[in-house]
Amino acid sequence: MHEMGIVLHIAKTLNETAEEEKITKIGSVTLQVGEVSGIITDLFVDCWNYFKVRNEILKDSELKLETLPAVTFCGDCEKTYPTVKYGRECPYCGSYETWLLTGNECIIKEIEAETL
């Protein structure tokens, strides 16, 4: 279960940011999660809810998740296409000379917080 590890890493980043910016309370955290990131969002939310009550600055926070679509680029025909629907094979030219452009990220997009 790597979701807990990701939650711990995000919490560490949020705690460091809170210290730097003199944040006293985090009301919400918006994360962008790629649709092929491998993160199971239901499990991720459970891990967040388990961990946040053990972290003073996050204890009353709300987690908001946004899905980032997976997009693949074809090096042969130079077109992009939706990864989940077509996989690695380009639907336009049949090439396998493709690579993922977006969709495997987990990004802290926004923090709603109170400061001193």
The model's pTM: 0.86
Query: Containing H/E element for 69?
Result: none
Residue 85: inside a domain: no
Instruction: Confirm whether 106 is domain-assigned.
Output: yes
> What's the number of CA atoms in the CB half-sphere (13 Å) around residue 45?
8
pLDDT at 53 over 70: yes
Chain centroid to Cα 89, Å, comes to 25
**Closest by alpha carbon to 16, among 55, 53, 59?**
55
Q: Which pLDDT tens digit goes with each residue over 2-51?
A: 899 999 999 999 999 999 999 999 999 999 999 999 999 999 999 999 99
Question: Does any domain span residue 83?
Answer: no
Q: Which domain holds residue 63?
A: 3-69+102-115
Tell whether the model's pLDDT for residue 109 goes beyond 90: yes
DSSP letter, residue 104: S
Q: What is the number of structural domains in the chain?
A: 1
Quick check: 116 pLDDT over 80?
Answer: no
Q: Is residue 90 part of a domain?
A: no
